[in-house]
């Protein structure tokens, strides 16, 4: 096999500061997936490594080798740096290619002295323009690592490839600084300042009025998966309804549950679960119309010839979408169509796009999700990266007739590594946030182990604090309902350590009961979480009180609640 050469142009390095005396920055959530004529400046002035000047650079060579996963990698060493255990590092660089193909995947990885690689993110680099590669890692040890850029190509080519790299940055943050980013973002994107003005009947200010504030509903959908045990287990029903106001069914709406035998549909369990949810004010994300994994089809579907498959799939889509039209807040129309392609192999490359079009025209007001795993939870998976997710979703949206489709981004979030890469997760959310579409974490669960509860809290805080995320659903529950991967309650429905984290965050992310008093102007201000509120105002000098309901939403710029006593 002939070895290809890769020429690499690197920018010169300006070292702004090393690991000593590093000062703190606010986190830069900005990103782009556009390919630009010129690279933007390095984030954080280049951070620890300071590539921040455009030059003609120097030329290096690298051999094309075969990685363990069968992909061909051109690996380039950018720099060696020392990481501090417990710190989080955000990486960014601008890259472009010439020669070779029109575009290639370029990834960043961090190589420890023992040879272990930690992947930090990737992008699609193109010819003639600059693409942003944004990623990150959390340091699990103190020591030196080598920063590598890896060009990942799935088809061997003997062509020489030239890669240009510019404005590289690696910025460290302590865990305390990272948490500060989250808290500041929560105050900015999940809360609003509310002003109260209280007057007497004659219009004069009511000084010293007592305002009691009660949040009756959260404005952020934070929910939990639900399964068929909810139909018959009263303790499970009470446990669920007391905590969550949004859900997805784990299996009960899927094709293999509702049509086990061809032509014999049975929605009994799904209908009962929908009724329970509606009776308790719980919103439902439909999960799912189709699953692109061949293994997850009803047995009778797997070997259908294309024409028969199309007929059966059309009937399935019309049946389930029409049945629950107006009763759901969204549908996963095609589940995991980056990792799998059962319908594409059978029906053609536009199979997913076609099904989204059909669902859209059946229920035009419905939000339609593309749902996928490993986009935020596994930086080593090249199949469902943020840039590939965007590419597939844009393909669906550009399909004829889909222009008005209400699309949303569904990221499952099945975290299995011993320590989740929160810095990578944030960078992936930054990148997908540039699409301007709602992002939901749809099936969050965490592998077992002594740090399970801590890891779940880190993941949920990261998702909740990110400006682009508009909903979170965890996939866990009580052991009595069969939830063994992430158990939230024991057989007596008492919370496990993981369940305690969930309960703590539910309480932390709401205003609860608050009270304030008006000043001499009859005014008072308070920062409140988005949601529905009931307010009661009273005054110690008069025998009068009043109540009012109001909402705090992210769309409202200024909220002033006016209250006036009758006397």
- Taken in order 142, 147, 152, 158, the sign of the CA dihedral is negative
Strand order in the sheet with 513-517: 513-517, 210-218, 531-538, 545-552
Half-sphere exposure of 481 (CA within 13 A, CB side): 29
Enumerate the β-bridge partners of residue 538: 210, 545
Q: Environment class of residue 10 by beta-carbon count within 10 Å: exposed (0-12), middle (13-18) or buried (19+)?
A: buried
Q: Measured between alpha carbons, how far is residue 396 from residues 327, 370, 372 in Å?
A: 24, 9, 14
Distance between CA 351 and CA 331 in Å, rounded?
Answer: 17
Active site residues: 336, 443
Strand duo 487-489 + 477-478: pairing? parallel
Enumerate the β-bridge partners of residue 194: 526, 559
> Which two tokens mark 350?
């536009």
Q: Which of 478, 441, 479, 475 is nearest to 460 (CA)?
A: 441
Residues 522 and 200: beta-carbon distance below 8 Å: no
CB atoms within 10 A of CB 452: 20
> Which two tokens mark 397?
């949206």
Q: Which of 455, 433, 446, 524 is nearest to 485 (CA)?
A: 446
Distance between CA 110 and CA 105 in Å, rounded?
Answer: 17
Q: How far apart are the first and last CA of the chain?
A: 92
- Name every residue whose Cβ is closer than 8 Å to that of residue 115 and which is 6 or more positions away in sequence: none
Residues 546 and 563: beta-carbon distance below 8 Å: yes
Distance between CA 225 and CA 441 in Å, rounded?
Answer: 12
């Amino acid at each position: 096999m002939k070895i290809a050469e890769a020429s690499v142009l690197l920018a010169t390095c300006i070292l702004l500061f090393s690991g000593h005396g590093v000062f703190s920055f606010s986190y830069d959530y900005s990103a782009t997936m556009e390919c630009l004529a010129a690279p933007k400046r390095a984030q954080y002035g280049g951070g620890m490594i300071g590539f921040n000047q455009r030059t003609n650079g120097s030329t290096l060579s690298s051999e094309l080798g075969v990685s363990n996963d069968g992909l061909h990698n051109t690996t380039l060493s950018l720099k060696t740096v020392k990481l501090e255990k417990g710190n989080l590092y955000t990486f960014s660089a601008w890259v472009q290619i010439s020669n070779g193909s029109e575009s290639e995947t370029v990834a960043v990885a961090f190589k420890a002295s023992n040879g272990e690689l930690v992947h930090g993110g990737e992008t699609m680099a193109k010819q003639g323009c600059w693409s942003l590669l944004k990623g990150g890692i959390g340091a699990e040890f103190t020591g030196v690592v080598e920063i590598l850029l890896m060009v990942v190509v799935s088809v061997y080519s003997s062509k020489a490839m030239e890669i240009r790299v510019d404005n590289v940055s690696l910025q460290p943050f302590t865990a305390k600084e990272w948490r500060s980013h989250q808290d500041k973002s929560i105050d900015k994107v999940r809360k609003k300042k509310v002003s109260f003005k209280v007057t007497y009947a004659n219009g004069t200010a009511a000084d010293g009025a007592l305002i009691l504030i009660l949040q009756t509903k959260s404005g952020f959908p934070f929910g939990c998966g639900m399964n068929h045990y909810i139909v018959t287990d009263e303790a499970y029903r009470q446990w669920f309804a007391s905590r969550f106001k949004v859900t997805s069914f784990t299996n009960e709406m899927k094709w293999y549950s509702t049509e086990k035998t061809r032509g014999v549909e049975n929605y009994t369990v799904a209908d009962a679960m929908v009724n329970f949810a509606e009776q308790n004010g719980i919103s439902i994300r439909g999960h799912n119309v189709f699953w692109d994994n061949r293994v997850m089809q009803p047995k009778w579907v797997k070997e259908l010839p294309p024409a028969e498959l199309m007929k059966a799939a059309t009937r399935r889509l019309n049946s389930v979408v029409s049945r629950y039209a107006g009763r759901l807040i969204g549908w996963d129309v095609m589940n995991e169509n980056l990792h799998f392609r059962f319908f594409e192999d059978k029906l053609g490359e536009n199979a997913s796009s076609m099904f989204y079009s059909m669902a859209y025209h059946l229920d035009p007001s419905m939000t339609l999700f593309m749902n996928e795993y490993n986009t935020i939870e596994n930086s080593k998976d090249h199949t469902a990266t943020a840039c590939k997710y965007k590419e597939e979703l844009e393909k669906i949206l550009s399909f004829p007739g889909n222009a008005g489709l209400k699309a949303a981004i569904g990221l499952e979030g099945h975290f299995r590594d011993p320590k989740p890469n929160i810095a990578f997760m944030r960078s992936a959310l930054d990148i997908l946030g540039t699409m301007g579409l709602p992002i939901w974490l749809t099936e969050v669960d965490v592998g077992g182990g002594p740090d399970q509860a801590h890891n779940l809290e880190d993941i949920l805080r990261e998702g909740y604090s990110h400006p682009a995320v508009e909903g979170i659903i965890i996939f866990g529950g009580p052991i009595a309902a069969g939830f063994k991967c992430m158990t939230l309650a024991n057989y007596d429905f008492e919370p496990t350590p993981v369940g305690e984290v969930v309960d703590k965050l539910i309480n932390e992310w709401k205003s609860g009961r608050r009270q304030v008093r008006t000043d001499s102007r009859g005014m008072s201000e308070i920062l409140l979480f988005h949601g529905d509120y009931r307010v009661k105002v009273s005054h110690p000098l008069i025998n009068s009180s009043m109540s009012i309901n109001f909402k705090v939403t992210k769309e409202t710029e200024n909220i002033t609640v006016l209250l006036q006593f009758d006397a």
